[in-house]
Amino acid sequence: MKTTLYWILAVIITLATAYYQRKTGPTRPKEVEITLNNTHYTLKLLRTHGGEEECEISLEIPDTLINGKLVYKLYPSNDEWTEVDLVRDSTLLKANLPLQPPAGKLAYHIRLASKYERVDVTGDEPVIIRFKGGVPRLIMGPHIILMFIAMLLSNLAGLLALASHKRYIYYGKLTLIALLIGGMILGPLVQFHAFGKAWTGIPLGWDLTDNKTLISFVFWLVAVAMNWKKNRPGYTILAAVVLLLIYTIPHSMYGSELDYSTGEVTQGFINLIR
């Protein structure tokens, strides 16, 4: 029964962390609320786009008296803003952002208007959207699953180590294997397909996602090594805490960014306030 309780606690912690990641990540759509023509709208604005097609910006605005414009430019840049009309398609207002190279970014505003009112949907700050290449499902799927499993096993091993339960060593080894395959092997493959470079963390760069993976892997490698011939639960507890803290850092907050002036992929900060 005790082992079952640890599993339940580990699942709860893992699901809570995954939910936090999903809600706080800077690449999830930005939700905005506006009122126009006495009607309240909740709109979602894209902040990431993958594939080889232009990025369609689509707003559910049934009121045919409302029209609008999409205004965008390269980010970061001092370019002039480009303005295109939103086209009505039944209850939707649509326009396309031009396709960018992997890690390229655009800043965009959406401005809606009726006969008597005008609203800048995005407010004072533009929305920043990052483009990426398509990642094969056979790579992305196992990567996501294994990283989730690694988090679950890490939490479980940490809880068992806190209770000096003998199985913490076994689950610590499984955590390391999941991190190795999911993070250190499949992670760079995802990065390569998405942004054209397999590794942009230390020592080649400062990509936050790559560096988070590397730090968590090193801590778990040390924890497994220190428990190989002798029980040292403190190392496992430390590795589990480090991985948990790392998962509280929003995903892709400081990630790959195309420098349009040089054509090089570097790292750029995504402001969560936006």
Give all domains of the chain, ordered by start, each with its CATH number. Answer: 2-25+135-269 (no CATH), 30-132 (2.60.40.10)
Q: Specify the pLDDT at position 2.
A: 77
Whole-number average pLDDT of the chain: 89
Confidence grade of residue 254 (pLDDT, cut at 50, 70, 90): low
Torsion over CA: 274, 103, 105, 46 (sign): negative
* pLDDT, tens digit, 9 for 90 and up, residues 150-184: 999 999 999 999 999 989 999 999 999 999 999 99
Q: Which of 14, 8, 49 minimizes the C-alpha distance to 28?
A: 49
Which amino acid, residue 212?
A: K
pTM of the model: 0.81
Residue 273 clears pLDDT 70, i.e. is over it: no
Q: Do the strands 254-259 and 87-89 form a parallel or antiparallel pair, or are they unpaired?
A: unpaired
